[in-house]
Amino acid sequence: MVKKVYENRHEVCSFYFTDELRASLDGPDCWAKGWVFNGDNCFNRMRHQQGGGGVIIWGRIIGNTIIGPFHVPEGLKLSSATYCPFPKNSLEPWLDNLPLATMKKTIFMHDNAVSHAAKATTQFLHSLGFVNDLMVCPPNSPDLNPIENLWSIIKCHVYLNGKQYSSKDMWMAIKESAATIPKSTIKKLTDSVNDRLF
Protein backbone atom coordinates (compact mmCIF):
# COMPACT_ATOMS: atom_id res chain seq x y z
CA MET A 1 0.00 0.00 0.00
CA VAL A 2 2.76 2.43 0.97
CA LYS A 3 4.80 1.62 -2.10
CA LYS A 4 1.79 1.88 -4.42
CA VAL A 5 0.78 5.33 -3.15
CA TYR A 6 4.29 6.63 -3.34
CA GLU A 7 5.07 5.25 -6.80
CA ASN A 8 2.06 7.06 -8.24
CA ARG A 9 2.70 10.41 -6.57
CA HIS A 10 6.33 10.79 -5.47
CA GLU A 11 7.19 13.26 -8.21
CA VAL A 12 4.51 15.78 -7.22
CA CYS A 13 3.59 15.26 -3.58
CA SER A 14 4.77 16.58 -0.24
CA PHE A 15 4.92 14.48 2.89
CA TYR A 16 4.15 15.54 6.45
CA PHE A 17 6.11 13.20 8.70
CA THR A 18 4.93 13.24 12.31
CA ASP A 19 5.62 11.32 15.49
CA GLU A 20 6.17 11.52 19.23
CA LEU A 21 9.45 11.13 21.10
CA ARG A 22 10.01 10.12 24.70
CA ALA A 23 13.32 11.42 26.07
CA SER A 24 14.40 9.83 29.36
CA LEU A 25 15.84 12.16 31.98
CA ASP A 26 18.49 9.60 32.92
CA GLY A 27 19.90 9.20 29.41
CA PRO A 28 19.14 6.99 26.41
CA ASP A 29 17.03 3.88 26.95
CA CYS A 30 20.00 1.53 26.79
CA TRP A 31 22.90 0.26 28.86
CA ALA A 32 25.40 2.86 30.04
CA LYS A 33 29.06 1.86 29.81
CA GLY A 34 32.43 3.44 30.43
CA TRP A 35 35.72 3.15 32.28
CA VAL A 36 36.19 3.49 36.05
CA PHE A 37 39.68 3.68 37.51
CA ASN A 38 40.55 1.12 40.18
CA GLY A 39 39.41 2.43 43.54
CA ASP A 40 37.14 5.17 42.13
CA ASN A 41 33.41 5.25 42.72
CA CYS A 42 31.08 4.35 39.87
CA PHE A 43 29.02 7.16 38.39
CA ASN A 44 25.47 6.83 39.70
CA ARG A 45 22.70 7.34 37.17
CA MET A 46 19.12 8.14 38.17
CA ARG A 47 17.04 5.23 36.88
CA HIS A 48 13.33 5.14 35.96
CA GLN A 49 12.63 3.07 39.08
CA GLN A 50 14.11 5.91 41.15
CA GLY A 51 11.91 8.53 39.54
CA GLY A 52 14.08 9.16 36.49
CA GLY A 53 11.04 9.90 34.35
CA GLY A 54 11.05 11.51 30.94
CA VAL A 55 9.66 14.12 28.59
CA ILE A 56 7.34 13.42 25.64
CA ILE A 57 7.32 15.71 22.61
CA TRP A 58 5.49 15.75 19.26
CA GLY A 59 6.71 17.28 16.03
CA ARG A 60 6.58 17.08 12.26
CA ILE A 61 8.90 17.66 9.34
CA ILE A 62 8.16 18.59 5.75
CA GLY A 63 10.78 19.30 3.10
CA ASN A 64 13.60 21.08 4.93
CA THR A 65 11.51 22.36 7.85
CA ILE A 66 10.79 21.08 11.34
CA ILE A 67 7.53 22.26 12.91
CA GLY A 68 7.79 22.15 16.67
CA PRO A 69 8.69 20.28 18.70
CA PHE A 70 5.67 20.61 20.98
CA HIS A 71 5.75 19.53 24.61
CA VAL A 72 3.22 16.90 25.68
CA PRO A 73 2.10 17.88 29.21
CA GLU A 74 3.46 15.61 31.93
CA GLY A 75 1.07 12.82 32.86
CA LEU A 76 -1.08 13.27 29.72
CA LYS A 77 -2.10 9.92 28.26
CA LEU A 78 -2.15 10.12 24.47
CA SER A 79 -5.52 9.12 23.07
CA SER A 80 -7.32 10.35 19.98
CA ALA A 81 -8.83 13.23 21.98
CA THR A 82 -5.47 14.36 23.39
CA TYR A 83 -3.45 13.67 20.22
CA CYS A 84 -5.58 15.65 17.73
CA PRO A 85 -4.79 19.10 19.20
CA PHE A 86 -1.11 18.70 18.23
CA PRO A 87 -1.65 18.42 14.45
CA LYS A 88 -4.58 20.85 14.74
CA ASN A 89 -2.51 23.63 16.34
CA SER A 90 0.48 23.16 14.06
CA LEU A 91 -1.27 22.39 10.76
CA GLU A 92 -4.39 24.57 10.67
CA PRO A 93 -2.59 27.97 10.52
CA TRP A 94 -0.30 26.63 7.80
CA LEU A 95 -3.06 24.97 5.77
CA ASP A 96 -5.18 28.14 5.79
CA ASN A 97 -2.64 29.79 3.46
CA LEU A 98 -1.97 26.72 1.32
CA PRO A 99 -3.34 26.67 -2.26
CA LEU A 100 -5.91 23.93 -2.81
CA ALA A 101 -3.84 22.45 -5.65
CA THR A 102 -0.89 22.03 -3.30
CA MET A 103 -3.10 20.58 -0.57
CA LYS A 104 -4.24 17.87 -2.97
CA LYS A 105 -0.61 16.81 -3.40
CA THR A 106 0.15 16.25 0.27
CA ILE A 107 0.34 13.01 2.23
CA PHE A 108 0.13 12.83 6.01
CA MET A 109 2.30 10.14 7.57
CA HIS A 110 2.20 8.84 11.11
CA ASP A 111 2.49 5.35 12.57
CA ASN A 112 -0.20 2.96 13.71
CA ALA A 113 -0.21 3.93 17.40
CA VAL A 114 -3.64 3.61 18.97
CA SER A 115 -4.07 7.39 19.21
CA HIS A 116 -3.16 7.76 15.51
CA ALA A 117 -5.21 4.89 14.10
CA ALA A 118 -8.40 5.73 16.03
CA LYS A 119 -11.48 6.46 13.95
CA ALA A 120 -11.87 9.90 15.58
CA THR A 121 -8.29 10.82 14.58
CA THR A 122 -8.88 9.75 10.98
CA GLN A 123 -12.10 11.78 10.85
CA PHE A 124 -10.27 14.79 12.29
CA LEU A 125 -7.51 14.57 9.66
CA HIS A 126 -10.19 14.24 6.98
CA SER A 127 -11.68 17.51 8.26
CA LEU A 128 -8.28 19.16 7.65
CA GLY A 129 -8.33 17.96 4.06
CA PHE A 130 -6.36 14.71 4.24
CA VAL A 131 -9.15 12.57 2.83
CA ASN A 132 -7.27 10.05 0.67
CA ASP A 133 -3.82 11.15 1.74
CA LEU A 134 -3.10 9.28 4.96
CA MET A 135 -0.16 6.96 4.42
CA VAL A 136 -0.87 3.49 5.74
CA CYS A 137 2.32 2.03 7.22
CA PRO A 138 3.05 -1.65 7.84
CA PRO A 139 3.37 -2.61 11.53
CA ASN A 140 6.80 -2.28 13.14
CA SER A 141 8.25 -0.07 10.41
CA PRO A 142 9.77 3.02 12.09
CA ASP A 143 12.45 3.04 9.38
CA LEU A 144 9.85 4.37 6.93
CA ASN A 145 9.45 7.61 8.90
CA PRO A 146 12.53 9.88 8.69
CA ILE A 147 11.44 11.88 11.73
CA GLU A 148 12.73 8.91 13.77
CA ASN A 149 16.22 9.80 12.51
CA LEU A 150 15.64 13.42 13.48
CA TRP A 151 14.80 12.34 17.03
CA SER A 152 18.02 10.31 17.07
CA ILE A 153 20.06 13.37 16.05
CA ILE A 154 18.43 15.42 18.81
CA LYS A 155 19.04 12.71 21.42
CA CYS A 156 22.72 12.39 20.48
CA HIS A 157 23.13 16.12 21.02
CA VAL A 158 21.07 16.29 24.21
CA TYR A 159 22.77 13.30 25.88
CA LEU A 160 26.31 14.33 24.92
CA ASN A 161 28.85 13.42 27.64
CA GLY A 162 26.24 11.44 29.58
CA LYS A 163 24.26 14.50 30.65
CA GLN A 164 21.12 14.07 32.77
CA TYR A 165 18.26 16.53 33.25
CA SER A 166 15.25 17.65 35.19
CA SER A 167 11.99 17.73 33.17
CA LYS A 168 12.19 21.49 32.54
CA ASP A 169 15.86 21.40 31.55
CA MET A 170 15.30 18.43 29.23
CA TRP A 171 12.50 20.25 27.40
CA MET A 172 14.69 23.34 26.96
CA ALA A 173 17.62 21.22 25.74
CA ILE A 174 15.40 19.51 23.14
CA LYS A 175 14.08 22.85 21.87
CA GLU A 176 17.58 24.30 21.61
CA SER A 177 18.90 21.20 19.85
CA ALA A 178 16.02 21.17 17.33
CA ALA A 179 16.66 24.84 16.52
CA THR A 180 20.30 24.14 15.59
CA ILE A 181 19.66 21.34 13.09
CA PRO A 182 20.55 22.58 9.58
CA LYS A 183 17.76 22.67 6.98
CA SER A 184 20.01 20.61 4.70
CA THR A 185 19.99 17.77 7.26
CA ILE A 186 16.19 17.74 7.45
CA LYS A 187 15.94 17.84 3.63
CA LYS A 188 18.32 14.90 3.37
CA LEU A 189 16.08 12.91 5.70
CA THR A 190 12.82 13.69 3.90
CA ASP A 191 14.44 13.04 0.51
CA SER A 192 15.51 9.58 1.68
CA VAL A 193 11.94 8.22 1.74
CA ASN A 194 12.03 6.90 -1.82
CA ASP A 195 15.00 4.64 -1.04
CA ARG A 196 13.47 3.58 2.28
CA LEU A 197 10.26 2.41 0.59
CA PHE A 198 12.02 0.43 -2.11
Q: Order of strands across the sheet with 134-135?
A: 65-72, 54-62, 14-24, 106-109, 134-135
Separation CA 165–CA 158 (nearest Å): 9
- Domains defined for the chain, CATH in brackets: 14-23+52-197 (3.30.420.10)
Q: Which comes out higher in pLDDT, residue 65 or 53?
A: 65
List, for residues 163-183, the tens digit of each pLDDT value. 888 888 889 999 999 999 999
Tell me which DSSP letter residue 126 carries: H
What are the beta bridge partners of residue 135? 109
pLDDT at 189: 92
- Does the structure show a pLDDT above 70 at 33? no
* pLDDT > 50? residue 98: yes
Rounded distance between C-alpha atoms, residue 43 and residue 114, angstroms: 38
Query: How confident is the prediction for the chain on average, in pLDDT?
Result: 79
Contact 2, 193 (CB under 8 A): no
| pLDDT at position 49 over 50 | no
- Among 1-15, 111-125, 183-197, whose mean pLDDT is lowest? 1-15
Which range (62-71, 91-100, 141-150, 185-194) has the least confidence?
91-100
| Global confidence as pTM | 0.77
Cα Dmax for the chain = 68
**Taking a C-beta distance cutoff of 8 angstroms, is the pair 153, 182 a contact?**
no
